[in-house]
Amino acid sequence: MSEHNAIRLAKDDTAPNFELESDEYKHYALADFKHKNVVLYFYPKAMSSICTVEACAFRDNLNRLEDENTVVIGVSGDDIPALQEFREKDDINFVLLSDPEYEAHKLYGTVTESEKDGKREYSPIRSTFVIDGEGKIAYADYDVNVSGQVERILAEVAKLK
């Protein structure tokens, strides 16, 4: 079994653009959010316990983030029906994107690839990025602790003024 993980992005790197489909069957590209700050977070699995805590924390603080000209985008490898169920079950109020081929994950280094018995497997890495209105990474966390995460993100967003 071999493992591969892409190079990790850091502060001041240009955020890679991508286009994915949302749970509402809309296509979104990162470039669509130019001139806004973006909290881009990658999570392993919709409706799992920690992912639900994380999403609900962003949901509950979305107004505070929007007051800072910031949008929240959650990305997972889940299919669209799973994301629709997640949105409905937990009243998610921000963009959820489906990345079943892990394309955006690979661009951001948020997935570990391995091969087992000739089959490629992907393990998502819970990660969060703050991207400024010019498309530069202002903050990158590849070892997210969801406890206190939103407060840390709000502090990073406040630095972008």
| 57 token code pair | 């924390």
**Cβ–Cβ under 8 Å, residues 160 and 138:** yes
Q: Identity (one letter) of the amino acid at 13? A: D
| Active-site annotation holder among 51, 71, 92, 131 | 51
Is 56 designated active site? Answer: no
Backbone angles phi, psi at 73, to 5 degrees: -130, 125
Catalytically active residues are 51
